Amino acid sequence: VTAWSNRKPIDQGGLLKFVFGKEYHAFNPDVINSLHKAVRSGKYEDFKEYAELVNNRPIATIRDLFKLKTTNPIPVEQVESVEAILPRFDSAGMSLGALSPEAHEAIAIAMNTIGGRSNSGEGGEDPARYGTIRNSKIKQIASGRFGVTPAYLTSAEVLQIKVAQGAKPGEGGQLPGGKVNGLIARLRYSVPGVTLISPPPHHDIYSIEDLSQLIFDLKQVNPKAMVSVKLVSEPGVGTIAAGVAKAYADFITISGYDGGTAASPLSSIHHAGSPWELGLSEAHQALRVNDLRGKVRVQTDGGLKTGLDVIKAAILGAESFGFG
């Protein structure tokens, strides 16, 4: 008893969860509360308060080291219209299962209302939503192919082949059996209570030629849809992006390690992947060197929060931006 009486408690440091006065978290109570306030009130002043809180935070990401040069503002008449800008914004892929049906539909309605696009994620979507304002314009095709049917594919404006996820690159995905209720099982063509695994690779994609074949097949099912390939930010992603462009993809998404996940080991959340700033810059430059930049649109996602994030991503080469 004497030997252990003066032992101090272990300092958490705030790595795994927010602790006041310890390690900074991008989503801390102040940021979350100010965002909730802005959303509930709908006032620009409240959103500006939220944006200033994010933009003036301690250095937490690579882009926080960038400072924009100040100059005379461009007249509003010379700027793209709101209607031209909003289609560049997407919501990130979050499946029905990671989100509740109510939240999943609310995001779709919001993005369709403003002229952006919502992403179904890899879990399929209720056919009752097709052709309505609740429909997700981006339909995701992951390695598990859950919910992928002809009707699912033809209800999309963009078909996204999910090669990997920023929060857990190279690990595939899973939905624990406890989350697989009757609705989710029906949409994923499974049975309730069974854990659903998306393997790390697509078992029909082991080369650029295989990827090109899948892109071709998807365009035969839905000739009007654009095909996107979702990659993660990692060393060498520029070479992969060049191959994807040669496979006739329309979009390339570079996903950073700040992206969300419904089921991922803590070791992956904290130690796998890399910032989108690095992957986006590498992909943009590799595409330019290979004279492929004009053939595809490049998007990035993972931790974007404010207009300043969008500006910095655009400077690094992005034309489209994913939030969520």
Do the beta carbons of residue 321 and residue 90 sit within 8 Å? Answer: yes
Q: What is the DSSP string of 230-291?
A: EEE--TTHHHHHHHHHHTT-SEEEEE-TT---SS--HHHHHHSS--HHHHHHHHHHHHHHTT
Residues 6 or more apart whose CB falls under 8 angstroms from that of 311 comprise 68
The number of C-alpha atoms within 13 Å of 266 and in the hemisphere containing its C-beta is: 3
Residue 215 has a pLDDT of: 98
Say yes or no to pLDDT of 2 above 70: no
Interhelix angle 44-55/307-315, rounded to 10 degrees, is 50
Residue 262 has a pLDDT of: 66
In this structure, the number of other CB atoms found within 10 A of the CB of residue 220 comes to 9
What's the chain's length in residues? 324
The CA distance from 29 to 25, in Å, is 9
Would you say the C-alpha torsion 285, 120, 108, 323 has a positive or negative sign? negative
The better pLDDT of the pair 84, 263 is held by 84
Closest CA to 230 of 296, 184, 294: 296
Q: Where in the chain is the domain with CATH 3.20.20.70?
A: 76-323
Query: C-alpha distances in angstroms, 215 versus 98, 118, 262, 314, 322?
Result: 26, 21, 27, 26, 22
Residue 3 has a pLDDT of: 65
The better pLDDT of the pair 15, 30 is held by 30
- Which tens digit of pLDDT belongs to each residue from 70-123? 888 889 899 999 999 999 999 989 998 889 999 999 999 999 999 999 999 988
- Which tens digit of pLDDT belongs to each residue from 295-307? 999 999 999 999 9
141: helix, strand or coil: strand
Residue 163 has a pLDDT of: 94
Average pLDDT over residues 25-39: 95
Residue 170 has a pLDDT of: 81
Average predicted confidence (pLDDT) for the chain: 92
Residue 14 has a pLDDT of: 82
- Is residue 179 exposed (0-12), middle (13-18) or buried (19+ Cβ within 10 Å)? middle
- Which tens digit of pLDDT belongs to each residue from 35-47? 999 999 999 999 9
- Which tens digit of pLDDT belongs to each residue from 237-260? 999 999 999 999 999 999 998 877
Residue 184 has a pLDDT of: 93
Locate 224 and state its tokens.
């009007």
Share of the chain above pLDDT 70, in %: 98
Question: Which range has the top average pLDDT, 56-60, 197-201, 282-286?
Answer: 282-286
The better pLDDT of the pair 273, 275 is held by 275
Q: How confident is the model at residue 133 (pLDDT cuts 50, 70, 90)?
A: very high
4: helix, strand or coil: helix
**What is the CATH code for 76-323?**
3.20.20.70
The DSSP call for residue 119 is B
Residue 169 has a pLDDT of: 84
Query: C-alpha distances in angstroms, 293 versus 90, 241, 249?
Result: 21, 10, 12
Do the beta carbons of residue 118 and residue 92 sit within 8 Å? Answer: no
Say yes or no to pLDDT of 1 above 70: no
